[in-house]
Amino acid sequence: MQTVKMVVTGPFSAGKTEFIQSVSEIDVVSTERKISSDGEKMVKEATTVAMDFGRITVDEDLVLYLFGTPGQKRFDFMWEILSEGMLGFIVMVDSARPETFREARGILQTFRAYAPTPYVVAANKQDAEDAWEVDDMRHALRLDSKIKLLPCVATNRKSVKTVLLELLYSILAEMESGG
């Protein structure tokens, strides 16, 4: 059995879990959303690392794993570990929360420094009333026109598929250009 992986990253609450859940065959292992009271939260955080993990079986001998990066900053040592060997990564950004754009830029830069793999940026929650337009987000996130910034609604499977496909097309293009 061969496996490949992609990483889904982005600020807390950007929609990483939702994104992976929309296409995964298995229930995404995520503890973050189940946390209710503060007391419970402390106990759970001590015992579980809130991390998403999804799977798409391609055929008998190929499986794609999707890893969501843990939201809390104190787990960011995991980023480098997770990014090892990834085919590419997706940066999720909540289009309706400009207060997270700075963090998103930082996360993007961090991952670019880890690995030279292709990536796409998903302008998520485009269905939200306060969502910024994709063109405005491109400038706010300081993305070069060559970088794919895709409108996304993570709760919508078709939308998630498009983002994954765009990343795969970028990977293929990179391979064909000899990169």
Partner 1 sequence: MALRGNLRDFTITQLLNLINLAHKTGTLIVDGPNETAQVAFREGKLAYAAIGQEDNSLATILHKGSKLTANQYLAIKQRSDHVSDKELGLLLINAGYVSQEDILASLQQYFIDITRRLFTWVEGFFRFENDMLPPEDRINIRLDLENLIIEGSRQLREWEQLQDEIPSLEMALKFTDRPGANLRNINLSVEEWRVVSYITPKNTISQIAKATKMNELEIRRIVYGLLQAGLVEIVRPEGAPLPMTSNMFPTQDKEEQKSLVNRLIKRIRSM
Ligand X SMILES: Nc1nc2c(ncn2[C@@H]2O[C@H](COP(=O)(O)OP(=O)(O)O)[C@@H](O)[C@H]2O)c(=O)[nH]1
- Binding stretches for partner 1 (CB under 8 A): 2-4, 23, 56, 58-59, 62, 64, 83-87, 96, 98-103, 105-106, 109-110, 112-117, 129-133, 135-136, 139-140, 142, 144, 157, 161, 164-165, 168-169, 171-172, 175-176
Draw the binding track, 28-67, toward Mg ion (x: CB under 5 A; -: no contact).
----x-----------------------------------
DSSP 115: -
Q: Which residues of 150-175 are buried (b: 16+ CB within 10 A; e: fewer)?
A: bbbbbeeeebbebbbebbbebbeeee
State the SS3 of 52-67.
EEEEEEEECCEEEEEE
Draw the binding track, 96-125, toward ligand X (x: CB under 6 A; -: no contact).
----------------------------xx
Judged by DSSP in three states, 11 sits in coil
Strand partners, 127: none
* Region near ligand X per CB under 6 A, out of 53-61, 83-91, 97-105, 147-155: 147-155
Token pair listed for 7: 């990483």
Residues binding ligand X (CB under 6 A): 10, 12-18, 33, 68, 71, 124-125, 127-128, 153-155
